[in-house]
Amino acid sequence: MKIFSWFKAKKGYLSERDINKNLKAKFIGKHIVILDIIDSTNMLAKREAEKGALNGSVFIAENQTAGRGRLGRTWSSNEKDCILMSILLHLDNKEEINTSVYTLAFGLAVSNAIDSITKKNTKLKWPNDILINNKKLCGILCERFSRNNKNYMVIGIGINVNNEKFEDDLSNKATSLFIEYKNIFKREKIIAEVLNKIEEVYIDADKGKLSDIILKYKEKCISLGKNVELTKNNQKIYGMIEDISNEGELITSIYPNGKIKINSFDGVEQYIY
């Protein structure tokens, strides 16, 4: 279609200069690497941590050959349509931090960043899938790791921005900003806003404002009150999602009268209905 080829022509490669125009964050994004293609920006962030990459370094790629999702899934992407990026955080002196709750906080920050660009409301599915109209717009893979006796966290973010369509099996589950709002979005603006909001929430979390963050998270979370099927090591448990604790755990009541708490690193698959 003619209109789509005009839109395509408008899609360019990412520019660091354009990201910096809207970047207010102080340490996140001070060092930005943009590559055409890489295996996975999360894996790159880990390799670069080993070589001494700065706290808050950001690794972005136009495409990935081995994009990774949660629970060992793959993450596929289209060149120049998506945001594929990873933020490296040094966790020195933060051995005690509860990375599960930070995972939720980062999901909230990305959701708020997207809302501030689109002036619409995204929703969150525990732990940090971002949805529009019940379809997945963004996935986040937070990983903790150690290199040379130092602890790190990488926040890997995949946002479907200007994708025009998804293949059959994904079309019922995935969406993009373009599909929802029929508008081409400038990815650099979204990247800058995501970095601004992640730094904001990280500083707030450091100041001990985690329960405020969880409260705001719950306002956007569609998982609460839903029936759920949880799977771990091929074992299934059925229950109802009751609450999210201040530690970021999903509190699920189990039929007939039990209760379990799972955190985002427990490797539990959940299907809500």
Q: Residue count at the site for ligand BTN (CB under 6 A)? A: 20
Binding mask 21-50 for ligand BTN (x = CB under 6 A): -------------------xxx--------
Binding mask 124-163 for ligand BTN (x = CB under 6 A): -----x---------xxx--------------xxx-----
Query: Any contact of residue 123 with ligand BTN (CB under 6 A)?
Result: no
Near ligand BTN by CB under 6 A, which window of 28-36, 63-71, 113-121, 235-243?
Answer: 63-71
Residue from 28, 46, 68, 125 that binds ligand BTN (CB under 6 A)?
A: 68
Nearest distance from C-beta of residue 143 to ligand BTN, angstroms: 9
Nearer to ligand BTN (CB atom), residue 41 or residue 151:
41
Nearest distance from C-beta of residue 138 to ligand BTN, angstroms: 8
Residue from 28, 29, 57, 67 that binds ligand BTN (CB under 6 A)?
A: 67
Q: 114: closest CA among 71, 106, 77? A: 106
Say how far apart CA 131 and CA 174 lie, in whole Å: 9
Q: Restricting to residues 240-269, which ones interact with ligand BTN according to CB under 6 A?
A: none
Chain centroid to Cα 156, Å, comes to: 6
Q: Restricting to residues 76-115, which ones interact with ligand BTN according to CB under 6 A?
A: 84-86
Q: 161: closest CA among 121, 207, 117? A: 117
b vs e for 214-229, b when ≥16 Cβ sit within 10 Å of the residue's Cβ? Answer: beebbebbebbebebe
Nearer to ligand BTN (CB atom), residue 50 or residue 206:
50
Q: 55: closest CA among 22, 30, 36? A: 30
Q: Which residue is nearest to ligand BTN (CB)?
A: 139
Nearer to ligand BTN (CB atom), residue 75 or residue 178:
75
Near ligand BTN by CB under 6 A, which window of 68-76, 199-207, 218-226, 228-236?
Answer: 68-76
Nearest distance from C-beta of residue 68 to ligand BTN, angstroms: 4
Q: C-alpha distances in angstroms, 227 versus 113, 126, 143? A: 29, 13, 27
Nearer to ligand BTN (CB atom), residue 85 or residue 210:
85
Cα distance from N-terminal residue to C-terminal residue, the chain: 37
Residue from 23, 46, 56, 70 that binds ligand BTN (CB under 6 A)?
A: 70
Nearer to ligand BTN (CB atom), residue 25 or residue 159:
159
Contacts with ligand BTN by CB under 6 A lie at: 40-42, 64, 67-70, 73, 75, 84-86, 129, 139-141, 156-158
